[in-house]
Amino acid sequence: MAYRNKKYLLTALLMLAIPTVVFAQTMSSPSYNIENSTLDGGGESSASSNYRSVDSISDIESGTSASTNFRNPSGFQPGAYPGIPGQPSLVNTGGTLYDSLDFVVVPGSGQQSDTTFAIAISDDNFATFQFIQTDDTLGPNEAWQDYVGWGSGTGERVVGLQPDTEYKIRVKASYGSGSDAEDTESGYSLEATATTSGQTLSFAIAGVNSSELVEGETTTVTSTATSIGFGLLTIGDGSPNLAAQTITVSTNATGGYTATARHDQDLTSQNSDTIATVSGTNASPAAFGTGVTTGRFGYHTSDDSLCTGTPNRFLANDTFARMETVPYEIACDSGPVTSQITYILYKLVIGTLQPAGDYQSTVTYIATATY
């Protein structure tokens, strides 16, 4: 029997586990500090509560990175971005603005002169919000203007707000405008807060003492806020009897106010006799006149610039109008006022033919604000 030698070749495959190269170091600048950073193959997203970066290993776009305070397109070559604007101001100037507030935009450090800004405004802590438009009204779409367009350091006044409401604004910047603004816009600034006032109107009536000089006439009786008592008058002596009241108005209404007066009847006695009125009307007051045979009664207002009709129709002192049962303007202003006083002067003359009696009527003043 023959034997053949067999040789066996043992081949050993040696596999080496080579670890991934990792660089760990601290990177820092005056504005940030990154500790134990590593370098890997890329292509993954990173995120935190204030920062998110998507696939930023190359300049091939694969998405957009964004968070509340940071936004960056993918790739190593992002476009120019303005810094976040400074905290704006929002103020209820004078503490009486009920449908508007004053604001000033504050640019960020080092921003270009052509930087534009959009201003978001909210009355529910930015659960929902609108944008201040270029005409200072509110709207759903962003409105971009440069610093000068928003009034520079003086700022502007946003209108169309609700009274007695807290508002907040915040500002973002962009190097673009219109549809291009989103491509280069910054995050939002810190917020500014202010509260609108409630709508206010106060109206007070007061009496005037006797011997007071009112619109060229001297009062002969003392009035109160609720009555004008001419007292016992001598029939036929022809002497004028004068009394006055004041109305005082305060309001923050941007459209101002109007005060009117009317009575329920002419001065009438228990016997239904009446005292005649002057010939002048509120629209066209006239001189009181002389030669009174029965009686004559009229009023004059110290407001020399009424808002309807001929504005200066009561400018001359001796201009009287008859009181009527429909209200007519006796005082007004086209804007907010504080403690604005108007005198209403009443003049009465009794002639020899006026029947004796106790005469009276009720005068009603009404003040209306335009908000």
pLDDT for position 144: 95
Q: What is the pLDDT of residues 185-233, one digit of tens each?
A: 999 999 999 999 999 999 999 999 999 999 999 999 999 999 999 999 9
Q: Poorest-confidence range of 119-123, 126-130, 238-242?
A: 238-242
pLDDT for position 153: 95
Proportion of the chain in helix, strand, coil states, percent, rounded to 5? 5, 35, 60
Q: For residue 247, is pLDDT > 70? A: yes
Q: Using 50, 70 and 90 to split pLDDT, how confident is the model at 70?
A: low
- Distance in angstroms between the alpha carbons of the first and the last residue of the chain: 127
Identify the H or E element spanning 139.
strand 138-139
Q: What is the pLDDT of residues 251-278, one digit of tens each?
A: 999 999 999 999 999 999 999 999 999 9
Q: For residue 313, is pLDDT > 80? A: yes
pLDDT for position 113: 85
Mean pLDDT along residues 34-48:
53
- Whether 354 and 241 have beta carbons less than 8 Å apart is answered as no
Q: For residue 2, is pLDDT > 80? A: no
Tell me the C-alpha distance between 111 and 66, whole Å.
21
Between 25 and 134, residue with greater pLDDT: 134
Q: For residue 163, is pLDDT > 70? A: yes
Q: Using 50, 70 and 90 to split pLDDT, how confident is the model at 30?
A: low
pLDDT for position 72: 55
Q: For residue 71, is pLDDT > 80? A: no
pLDDT for position 353: 94
Tokens of residue 79, six digits: 């476009």
pLDDT for position 18: 43
Q: For residue 154, is pLDDT > 90? A: yes
Please give the share of the chain, as a percent, with pLDDT higher than 90.
71
Q: For residue 12, is pLDDT > 80? A: no
Mean pLDDT along residues 144-153:
96
Tell me the C-alpha distance between 336 and 354, whole Å.
45
What is the β-pairing status of strands 363-369 and 64-66? unpaired
168 contact partners, CB below 8 Å, separation of at least 6:
90, 121, 122, 123, 125, 126, 191, 192, 193
Mean pLDDT along residues 333-352:
97
Residue 155, exposed/middle/buried by CB under 10 A (0-12, 13-18, 19+)? middle
Look over the chain and give the mean of its residue pLDDT values, rounded to a whole number: 85
Structural domains present in the chain: 25-73 (no CATH), 86-195 (2.60.40.10), 201-369 (2.60.40)
The pTM assigned to this predicted structure is 0.71
Residue 80, exposed/middle/buried by CB under 10 A (0-12, 13-18, 19+)? exposed
Q: Using 50, 70 and 90 to split pLDDT, how confident is the model at 109?
A: confident
pLDDT for position 58: 37
Tell me the C-alpha distance between 293 and 192, whole Å.
71
Q: One-letter amino acid identity for 64?
A: T
pLDDT for position 236: 81
